[in-house]
């Protein structure tokens, strides 16, 4: 069957025979369901096969909308499959981060004589700290991007600030990562790191509405 025919001829089935559903068929259906797209292919869906009529009746009578026909549909099915999901994983990497890329409106970066300067808005600081620990702290890179500039954070044994392909690159051993995480978790101000040739300037983030009215200033 081609895709067009499949779409045009599909139907919602609401009446069932009493023929049992084999485990082999059920496993095949679940295996096919795994090909449905999921954010970052995290595959959070889980399926529970309910064959006990008493459990099906309880679900039909206590967990369905009143006045709808769903209770009768559930009671008439030889098997009920409940789809559940794994919380707090969709879109996240196994290391706890949801991406290797973070966009920030307020981002400035420059390198002079081996010393780097980084300007960050305080509004994204908590997210940045969490991602630094989840990515760089576990041996992975993290890209920080604005409309005009980019910074690459990467793990390494020797702290360093350099420039590659027109962007600032900060190599963070464990002590530098801990110090940077502590600094960017602070309030607005200028901070010079001791374990990395880097000065961080945290500037207040102003949140406005569509008309430009200031709603909040995060310092």
Q: What integer pLDDT is reported at residue 55 of this predicted model?
A: 93
Residues in the chain: 219
Q: Which carries the bigger pLDDT value, residue 85 or residue 100? A: 85
Contact of 101 with 143, CB cutoff 8 Å: yes
How high does pLDDT run on average in the chain?
84
Q: What integer pLDDT is reported at residue 165 of this predicted model?
A: 85
Last residue of a domain, one of 24, 59, 85: 85
Q: Do 47 and 136 sit in the same domain of this protein?
A: no
Residue 192 forms part of a structural domain: yes
Where residue 20 sits, what CATH number does that domain have?
3.40.109.10
- In percent, the amount of the chain with pLDDT more than 70 equals 85
pLDDT in tens, 45-94: 889 999 899 999 999 988 887 767 888 889 889 999 999 888 766 655 55
Residue 92 forms part of a structural domain: no
Q: Do 193 and 130 sit in the same domain of this protein?
A: yes
- In percent, the amount of the chain with pLDDT more than 90 equals 27
Last residue of a domain, one of 31, 57, 85: 85
User: How far, in Å, CA of 156 to CA of 165, rounded?
Assistant: 19
Contact of 46 with 86, CB cutoff 8 Å: yes
Cα four-point dihedral sign 3, 9, 14, 20: negative
Q: Do 200 and 116 sit in the same domain of this protein?
A: yes
User: How far, in Å, CA of 176 to CA of 174, rounded?
Assistant: 6
Contact of 142 with 135, CB cutoff 8 Å: yes
Residue 95 forms part of a structural domain: no
Where residue 170 sits, what CATH number does that domain have?
3.30.1360.230
Q: Do 114 and 72 sit in the same domain of this protein?
A: no
Q: Do 112 and 40 sit in the same domain of this protein?
A: no
Count of CB atoms situated within 10 Å of the CB of 186: 12
pTM confidence score: 0.55
Is the pLDDT at 95 greater than 60? The verdict is no
Q: What integer pLDDT is reported at residue 94 of this predicted model?
A: 57
In the block, tokens 């023929």 appear at 19
pLDDT in tens, 120-176: 888 777 888 888 888 898 888 888 888 888 899 999 999 999 998 888 999 999 999
Q: Do 77 and 122 sit in the same domain of this protein?
A: no
Cα four-point dihedral sign 132, 134, 137, 142: negative
Number of structural domains found in the chain: 2
Q: Do 166 and 190 sit in the same domain of this protein?
A: yes
Is the pLDDT at 100 greater than 80? The verdict is no
Q: Which domain holds residue 9?
A: 3-85
Task: Return the bridge partners of 137, or none.
Answer: none
Count of CB atoms situated within 10 Å of the CB of 211: 5
Q: Do 71 and 126 sit in the same domain of this protein?
A: no
Q: Do 171 and 203 sit in the same domain of this protein?
A: yes
Is the pLDDT at 97 greater than 70? The verdict is no
Q: What integer pLDDT is reported at residue 121 of this predicted model?
A: 84
């Amino acid at each position: 069957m081609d895709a067009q025919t499949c779409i045009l001829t599909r139907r919602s089935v609401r009446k069932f025979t009493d023929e049992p559903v084999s485990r082999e068929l059920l496993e095949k259906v679940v295996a096919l369901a795994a090909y449905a797209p999921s954010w970052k292919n995290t595959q959070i869906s889980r399926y529970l096969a309910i064959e006990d009529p008493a459990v099906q009746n309880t679900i039909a009578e206590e967990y369905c909308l009143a006045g709808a026909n769903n209770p009768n549909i559930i009671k008439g099915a030889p098997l009920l499959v409940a789809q559940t999901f794994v919380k707090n994983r969709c879109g996240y990497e196994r290391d706890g981060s949801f991406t290797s890329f973070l966009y920030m409106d307020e981002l400035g970066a420059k390198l002079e004589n081996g010393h780097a300067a980084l300007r960050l808005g305080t509004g994204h600081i908590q997210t940045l700290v969490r991602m630094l620990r989840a990515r760089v702290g576990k041996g992975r890179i993290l890209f920080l991007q604005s409309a005009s500039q980019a910074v690459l954070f990467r793990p390494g044994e020797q702290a360093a600030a350099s420039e590659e392909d027109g962007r600032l690159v900060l190599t963070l051993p464990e002590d530098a990562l801990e110090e940077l995480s502590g600094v960017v978790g602070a309030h607005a101000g200028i901070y010079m790191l001791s374990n990395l040739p880097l000065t961080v300037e945290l500037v207040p983030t102003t949140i406005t509405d569509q008309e430009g009215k200031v709603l909040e200033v995060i310092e």
